[in-house]
Structure 1
Amino acid sequence: MEESLNRKARDLLATPSHEGAEILVKQLSLPQETNEFQTAEDLFNFCANNFPNCLTLMFLKLYRHSSNDFIRFHSLYLLSETLAVFRNCNIKLSRVALHEIKPLVIECLTMQETKESDMKFLGRVVSLITYNVVICDNGGWHELSDCILWLAENEPVKAFHVFIDLPSVYQSFIDKFMKVIVEKAEKVLLNPVKSEVEDWSLALETVVKLGIQISYKDMRYVKMVENLLSILAKSVKELVEKGNEQFLVQGLEHLERFLSEDKYLCNYNKEQCHFVMAFMFRIKSFGTQSKEIIKKINWLVQTPGNRAGKHSSLKINPLVQTPGNQDHGEEFDRAWLDHLKTLSSLEVLKIFASTDLEDETREMAIRQLNVLLSDHTSKRVEIDFSVMRQLQPLLISCLRQEGITDSMFKVLGEVVSHVAFEIFKHQDVTWYALRNYITSSKIEFQRAVYIFQCLTMPLENEEFLIPVIEILLPEISRRLNPPTELMVDNSSWVLAFTGAFCAAIHLIEVSSHAEFVKEIAHKMVKSVRKLVERGMEVGLVRRAFRDVESIVKKQLRWYDTSEYKFVKGLLWRLYAIKGMKWESMIVLWRINVIVERRVDEMVKELPENEFDWLNLTDEEVE
């Protein structure tokens, strides 16, 4: 066993190609119970125990050179966790390895591909490698000081992340960038309205960390320490005076979490603790809501003691959120979501399309894409039409993938809806691939009809609509037959009902299919009546009504007279069903209220008779 692992490890670490490393990282992102994960874990732990220098270099090179965004991010996470294990197990990187590692770290910090969302883990990696440089007395790391100065001038948030994670370093290291980083942090601290609480907290931690680092050096820094305390106090005072004390409380809570880690990493001495206490003393009278968190921070820096090692063995912390690694899983999820927010819509979809990632990771990606496209639809952000065209083929590929969970598919349908909305706005463009997907005999009915009902925009192109209707409607009609008993999963009838509603609303002005509308609408009412008589409202009827309510809300923006008449006529006939419980009636009432409030008064026209609500002419009735 060990001989086999030794051979695999040497092949992995000695090969210039990153292919093997990428496979390892992908396997380490799989659920723990899979054979692939367990095999990868054995190899990883063997490398960590026997080749720590090579493993560190491998992860850094993978982050530096891989074109796969998830691989880069995940390798960074694994490296930060691994280096923490090395530190707590007193495993030191060699001087020879550090000679190669240090310039590679600088490249990672300054390369264009490095995003601010990477910095949580990259900053930790820099800290742990700096720790190795310090204990090896490897001639210092002047290049890192120069790098922090460059980052402070050009990308200050990255500089903040790197600096706050550093262990105790020599003063000349800090002197080079101290003035610039204070100026950048002060700018954020004194403009809290323009800053998110996370950014403000990061600047706060930077100034506090700087004060801690220089507060015990020598008398030359007394004036600087006083300046830092003044900046901090002024920022806090302005927040309170502007009524933003809750913002302050959140920022101080971030600071408390930071200090609880940094105190033990840097082993604060008395003077350093006094700096924090001096800051708390200056702000304690500014507000009332912040008094409790100020007390906690004071108590934290006054309490002696050492934290138990966070990592006690060289077992990696898998990303699956088992009880033993829940904190690590949550930390990764938060950082991964922050990272997804920095990516383009196409990049996020490519991550979701990757079938060799864990479901939770993919689901976070598709949910973030849905948020991004929702913001575009609501005009909060703008995504170019050319990007929508790029998303189309990849979305169809995702729709056809096997093994997508129902929860992921539901969000995927919403994403398809946003893209289709943009595509169908252009009259010269028809999404034939989507039509072909919905009408394909290989696609499960429930998924096909779900995607159809997600298309809540007007489907005016009959080349798209009619083939879809002609395929779906017979099956919708068949599944509208009321079940005789409640099943564990009643979604088939519910989807048939909502699919029937969508089909009718889209066909209401298509004269060639008037009979289809009449037939399906009457069958909807008849089916509901039967279910009410059988006492099966809760699991079926009410759920279907709520889904129709959601659909109507999304469709309302394009309703005209025919659609208004149809909905009103359908509601009247459903209202008239005897024996329906009031909980179901209230959903119908809500739909009616929504329609009355949001449909333009100019198009409102109540149906005059049995056939008018179905938009049938006298000739069609005959």
Structure 2
Amino acid sequence: MESDETVKTLVKELLLSPVLSSLEFLLSYLTPPRGEDRDRVQAEVIFAYCRQHYPNALSLKLSDLLESSTEFNSTSLYATLLHGLLSRQSTNISPMILTELKPRIFTCFQQQRINPTNFRTLSKSISIVASRVFETEHGDWQELLDYVVSSVDSDDLNELAFMVFSDLPMNMGRFLKPKFDSLYLAFLKCLSSPNMKIRILAYSASSLLVQQLAGFDVDYDNKGDLLPAMLKLLIDLIDDTNDLFIEEGLKDLVRLAAIDPSFFTKHLKQLCESMVQIAEVNDLWEGSRYAALEVIKAVNDSATKEMSAMMQNLHGEIVNRLISSSMDMLVRIEHDPAWYIMDANKGENARKNARKTRSYDLGICLLGVISSAVPGDLILPISLELIQEYLSLKGWRIRHAGIVTLAVIAERCSEVH
């Protein structure tokens, strides 16, 4: 292996040369077939030295190779190496070099001759550069934002546009707000697409858009159709048996409730009905059914006043289903010998909480919310009928759920007394 001085000399020759063939030849040893071990090791040493000491020059050289490459394996290699360099050395690349990299990387991404398998790597690289660009006070990448807005509405390019949008750094609210109307209309259109994959991508993008714009005073009352379209997708996915995305999509709503409850307040009744509908599907994963009711709790925690007002006007059928779904959570409890062990060191609370699942705790919480908000003359007949039904069934868990429900409602609803 060459000495440090020799490596340094080779590196300078590679990076200062206007010809790309020498660097291209060196990098060919980094991918199979690798040739002799000695050549491969030498290539790795030289590339590592370039990456460590000259990230600015190397990033431009790799982007040059990426733009000129016509062979798939080489293109994949250059895209991967550039992404790795940006991931490790982003903060060491100067603003001037970033300005040069922006159009180069973006052009490579848009080139249709690049195999789609490289799109994700390039999109991640765009994200890293965008994060640096947009964190500055006067940073701008108007071409990138215009591409997302125009392409997401194109049947040929919307998948790529959603990919870029999903990779955007989470510091772009002030740049996206002026684009909100256009993005809103494009996302809304895609949420009703006949292509289920596009609908799912639009759902995730809509969630990210709300997160990006949190704190920027977006008026969702006048642009409030995103949430109903997102809820419809979740319901449609029940028949598609897409449990994985249903659960992930519900977790997105839980996060959004904490970030920006105003996104939900116009559609609380529809939200509640949709979540109950999901929680009632026995064939769904338990995690999905739990997440559906967790959405109701999360929105109630963030918009308690609005949620309480909505529940006061619910009709009997949905109250019945909501209480029933909550009671079903109470059945998720396991027998534990710790109940019968009086251990002064663990305390009474430890014994009482033995083998209670998070579903059980969620059921208790929701019953408390319902019994506090729904008028007594509506909730009492419904709840007492369900309690009697549970107490008449076999199985200690079901009867236990009925007794606990009675205790919760008696505590929160004065009419019980």
Give how far 1:14 is off.
2.5
Give how far 1:139 is off.
3.1
Residue in 1 that maps onto 2:228: 230
Letter in 2 for 1:9: V
Separation (CA, whole Å) in 2 of partners of 1:77 and 1:133: 21
Give how far 1:286 is off.
3.2
Separation (CA, whole Å) in 1 of partners of 2:71 and 2:212: 38
TM-score between both structures, scaled by the size of structure 1: 0.40
Matches within 5 A, 1:336-375: none
Q: 1:221 to 1:188 in 2, by over 3 A?
A: closer
Tell me the SS of whatever aligns to 1:285.
helix
Q: 1:294 to 1:272 in 2, by over 3 A?
A: farther
Letter in 1 for 2:86: L
Q: Does 1:250 align with 2:252?
A: no
Tell me the SS of whatever aligns to 1:98.
helix
Give how far 1:252 is off.
4.2
Q: Does 1:271 align with 2:259?
A: yes
Conserved? CA contact 1:233–1:282, under 8 Å: no
Residue in 2 that maps onto 1:61: 64
CA RMSD of aligned residues (A): 3.7
Matches within 5 A, 1:79-98: 79-87=82-90, 91-98=91-98
Q: Does 1:292 align with 2:271?
A: no
Letter in 2 for 1:38: V
Q: Does 1:42 align with 2:40?
A: no
Conserved? CA contact 1:131–1:167, under 8 Å: yes
> Can you give the 5+ residue segments of structure 2 that lack an aligned partner in the other structure?
299-417
Residue in 2 that maps onto 1:26: 28
Q: 1:117 to 1:228 in 2, by over 3 A?
A: farther
Residue in 2 that maps onto 1:349: none
Q: 1:220 to 1:179 in 2, by over 3 A?
A: closer
Residue in 1 that maps onto 2:81: 78
Task: Give the count of matched residue pairs.
Answer: 281
Tell me the SS of whatever aligns to 1:117.
helix
Matches within 5 A, 1:149-188: 149-154=149-154, 155-175=157-177, 177-188=179-190
Separation (CA, whole Å) in 2 of partners of 1:62 and 1:80: 13
Q: 1:112 to 1:252 in 2, by over 3 A?
A: same
Q: 1:239 to 1:183 in 2, by over 3 A?
A: farther
Tell me the SS of whatever aligns to 2:140.
coil
Conserved? CA contact 2:98–2:133, under 8 Å: yes
Conserved? CA contact 2:66–2:108, under 8 Å: yes
Residue in 2 that maps onto 1:214: 213
Conserved? CA contact 1:214–1:221, under 8 Å: no
Conserved? CA contact 1:163–1:206, under 8 Å: yes
Conserved? CA contact 1:64–1:108, under 8 Å: yes
Letter in 2 for 1:216: G
Conserved? CA contact 2:172–2:212, under 8 Å: no
Separation (CA, whole Å) in 2 of partners of 1:147 and 1:70: 27
Conserved? CA contact 2:30–2:43, under 8 Å: yes
Q: 1:170 to 1:135 in 2, by over 3 A?
A: closer
Q: 1:177 to 1:200 in 2, by over 3 A?
A: same
> Can you give the 5+ residue segments of structure 1 that lack an aligned partner in the other structure?
303-622
Residue in 1 that maps onto 2:387: none
Residue in 2 that maps onto 1:134: 134
Q: 1:23 to 1:176 in 2, by over 3 A?
A: farther
Residue in 1 that maps onto 2:365: none
Q: 1:46 to 1:255 in 2, by over 3 A?
A: farther
Give how far 1:72 is off.
1.1
User: Whose Rg is larger?
Assistant: 1
Conserved? CA contact 1:120–1:161, under 8 Å: yes
Conserved? CA contact 1:171–1:214, under 8 Å: yes
Separation (CA, whole Å) in 2 of partners of 1:231 and 1:3: 63
Give how far 1:165 is off.
0.7
Q: 1:216 to 1:51 in 2, by over 3 A?
A: same
Conserved? CA contact 2:15–2:58, under 8 Å: yes
Letter in 1 for 2:259: E
Separation (CA, whole Å) in 2 of partners of 1:138 and 1:40: 39
Give how far 1:77 is off.
2.0
Give how far 1:272 is off.
5.4
Separation (CA, whole Å) in 2 of partners of 1:176 and 1:36: 53
Tell me the SS of whatever aligns to 1:208.
helix
Tell me the SS of whatever aligns to 1:82.
helix
Tell me the SS of whatever aligns to 2:18.
coil
Matches within 5 A, 1:193-592: 194-196=195-197, 199-221=198-220, 223-224=222-223, 226-240=224-238, 243-244=239-240, 246-247=241-242, 249-252=243-246, 270-271=258-259, 283-287=274-278, 288=281, 289-293=284-288, 295=290
Q: 1:128 to 1:195 in 2, by over 3 A?
A: same
Q: 1:2 to 1:151 in 2, by over 3 A?
A: farther
Letter in 1 for 2:169: P
Conserved? CA contact 1:148–1:177, under 8 Å: no
Separation (CA, whole Å) in 1 of partners of 2:119 and 2:179: 18
Conserved? CA contact 1:188–1:195, under 8 Å: no
Q: 1:7 to 1:282 in 2, by over 3 A?
A: farther
Q: 1:65 to 1:35 in 2, by over 3 A?
A: same
Conserved? CA contact 1:80–1:124, under 8 Å: yes
Conserved? CA contact 1:124–1:165, under 8 Å: yes
Match of 1:5 among 7, 15, 19: 7
Give how far 1:211 is off.
1.5
Separation (CA, whole Å) in 1 of partners of 2:271 and 2:63: 39
Separation (CA, whole Å) in 2 of partners of 1:25 and 1:270: 48
Give how far 1:185 is off.
3.8
Conserved? CA contact 1:95–1:138, under 8 Å: no
